A and B are shown apart, each in its own frame.
Chain A
Amino acid sequence: MLAADWRLFALVGLAVALLVWALILFAALRWRRRDGDPLPPQFRRHDALEITWTVLPLVLVCGLFVYTYRAEATVESLDATPDLAVAVNGFRWGWSFAYTGGPVITGDANAPPQLVLPVDKLTRITLTSADVNHAFWVPDFLFKRDAIPGQATQFDLRPTKLGTYLGHCAEFCGLDHARMNFSVRVVAPDEYARWLRAQRIGARP
């Protein structure tokens, strides 16, 4: 969904850019002055053209907006029944991942924590900050959300590919902002179940 949005806008953007660049360069090169050239025709307006190049772009951006609105509604939707929930807390300079029912994985700039998620399952993330603004960004997911102190925010993740993905803090938060990293490891559901059990057993006092 997100990748499709990128592709559409990149395509439309590139097409517009190439068209306008071509017009600029064509005009600049085609009508270079040659010695002795008289004053060119001094036209200053063309109402039909001006209306067209106002209305057509307006229609285009409205179309882009409709597409964007639908894409955003899909990305932001919160499922009624997530498969699992993790409370993510950002702090200077690390992250903690608190799974409902345990464990709580914590890490910092020296030992970045890892969020383990089962593939094709819906995880509800509740994001908070302990101090200043941070942002939870997983570039491979094409998604980030800000962690703002005093307000919890929620979003759903449904990873579809196995693998380990890097995560970064994406809101400047001071000295170790550049090292406030984490990773997300997406595993098969049975491996996730084993991992969860091992974590909970290990955490038992």
Chain B
Amino acid sequence: MNLLAWLTTTDHKRIGILYLTTSLFYLLVAGALALGIRTQLARPENTVVDAHTYAQMFTLHGTAMIFLVIAPFALGLANFLIPLQIGAAEMAFPRLNATSYWLFLFGGLVVFGGAASAEGAAATGWTAYAPLSEIAVSTGIGQDLWIVGVFLVSVATILTAINLITTTFVYRAPGMTMWRLPIFTWEMVATSLLIFMAFPALAADLLLLFVDRRFGGHAFDPNGGGSAVLWQHLFWFFGHPEVYVMILPYFGVISEIIPVFSRKPIFGYTGLVLSAFAIAGLSMGVWAHHMFTTGAVNNPFFSFVSFLIAVPTGVKFFNWIGTMWRGSITFPTPMLFSVGFLLNFLFGGVTGVMVASPPIDYHAQDSYFVVAHFHYTLGGGSLFAIFAALFFWWPKMFGSLLDERLGKLCFWLLFVGFNVTFLPMHLAGIDGMPRRVVTYADMGALPLLNLIATLGSYVMAAGVVVFVVNVVLTMRRRIPAGNDPWGANSLEWWTSSPPHEHGFTSLPPIRSERPVFDARHPEVAVRR
């Protein structure tokens, strides 16, 4: 396809591929920034980069991973998959869909564009707390470019959420009732609901900060009648649901892959659906657990609701284990990454319950303990699921399977590298290392812990390189995968690889969440 065709496409499959490609590009950039951060922190009092450069690096790393990688990858995957999974020809609003993608691309470029300005990119962290981000302190336009760039990405995200929910509600194929949807589709419905509820708060926060900076406002300036903590309320009202936006789709990915390689249906379908919405609902009521140390919020309320969220998350874990239980399990690369997800995310969930207790958070907040916690959930969780999804759906999207031996090598490098990088950070935090520091004193265990973490990060980088090599080799070799190389369950595996222009030329009967499996195994097909 030529450039003009890509620029004007409204095909959900092409738009999905654009999202995936762009988000993977940003993953490489954010990953390189992470390597830079780890290199600087490898030794105490290191001078690889100065403090201002370092601040831009961790700001862009966090901003990119959250706004330009993890969420857009999921939305791109949903774009590609959901019409296929529900048996629809296209998304409800194809032109709006394309608009979302271009807004996402341009928004990211605007954010990074700040790096080319005189005072550099935004340097206040991905959380851009006021008053640090106000014009009096952060004087460069990098911060303004961050604000408007993130705003564009937010608009893109909200528009995609509207598209996904409408498509799922309205364009399901005959027999595809809501309770026969694949779990991935259900998780995307919950994710879309969260996006509606959360992103407007971010948009409001960004608008207020922009008015403060450029039009003489004082929303967050206590000297002008404003409130510094107001930024935090609005930001975290968005920010906490945002982390669930970044995990629910990947719960969905895992829920698609584990049944296939266990050769059993997903266990506890109803529980998985209800828990997705329980998590979404509860996640709107926990935002100030990011503010426990301010002394300005009702800690017990937020602590209680934060503890509650562990329950539906646990339900999902038991359902995934139940799916594997007494199954007949094989471990191609997607399944390796899925099991890795389970092992890693569990640990992140446990440390999450710990920091939900304010007395623990009084020590852990803004330390490397919390950095370790969220990297276990977002890195050990979402990132591993990203790779699981890539290996699983690559043949459907591009027609050929990724190399299995390189895939396994990639998994082991990432699994070992990830844990070597982030496990020591728990100890570094407990030992008193704050986050967002350009360096630390040569005392106690910190130098050794940081060195180990840095070495782990290089192993992770090797895993990513192996993945890139895999992609290049696969694209060259092009061994056709066929419609259903894995023996999978949901509708996308019925059509060709890659799918026909409008998805399907025929459809199997749809009487459960596994219509393709039912068609292949009519002797065990059940009706939901």
Contact = CB atoms under 8 A, between A and B. Distances in A.
A146 B295 contact: yes
Nearest to B261: A33
Given A150-B228, A170-B367, A6 B431 contact: no
Given A13-B354, A145-B293, A166-B432, A135 B268 contact: no
Nearest to B312: A54
Nearest to B342: A24
Interface stretch (B69-77, B190-198, B314-322): B314-322
Nearest to B291: A146
Interface in A101-129: none
B326 interface: yes
B329 A68 contact: no
B307 A61 contact: yes
A68 B132 contact: no
A20 B263 contact: no
Contact of B353 (A21, A64, A72, A171): A64
Interface string B87-131: 000000000000000000000000000000000000011000101
Interface residues of A, number: 76
Contact of A149 (B228, B269, B318, B436): B228
B329 A28 contact: yes
Given A24-B342, A150-B228, A135 B366 contact: yes
Interface stretch (A35-43, A156-164, A185-193): A35-43
B321 A24 contact: yes
A30 to B, nearest CB: 9
Nearest to A150: B222
Given A13-B350, A75-B362, A177-B437, A39 B524 contact: yes
Nearest to B227: A150
B363 A31 contact: no
Interface of B: 51-52, 55, 124-125, 129, 131-132, 137, 222-223, 226-229, 262-271, 293-296, 299-300, 303-304, 307-308, 310-311, 314-315, 317-319, 321-322, 324-331, 339, 342-343, 346-347, 350-351, 353-354, 357-360, 362-363, 365-367, 431-432, 434-440, 521, 524, 526
7 nearest A-B pairs in the assembled complex, by CB-CB distance? A150-B222, A139-B432, A178-B437, A153-B295, A172-B436, A61-B307, A27-B324
Interface of A: 1-2, 5-6, 9-10, 13-14, 16-17, 20-21, 23-24, 27-28, 31-33, 37-46, 49-50, 53-54, 57-58, 61-62, 64-65, 68-69, 71-72, 75-76, 131-133, 135, 137, 139-140, 142-146, 148-151, 153-155, 166, 168-178
Given A145-B295, A168-B432, 11 more contacts: A5-B359, A14-B350, A16-B350, A24-B324, A24-B343, A27-B329, A40-B264, A45-B270, A57-B314, A72-B357, A177-B51
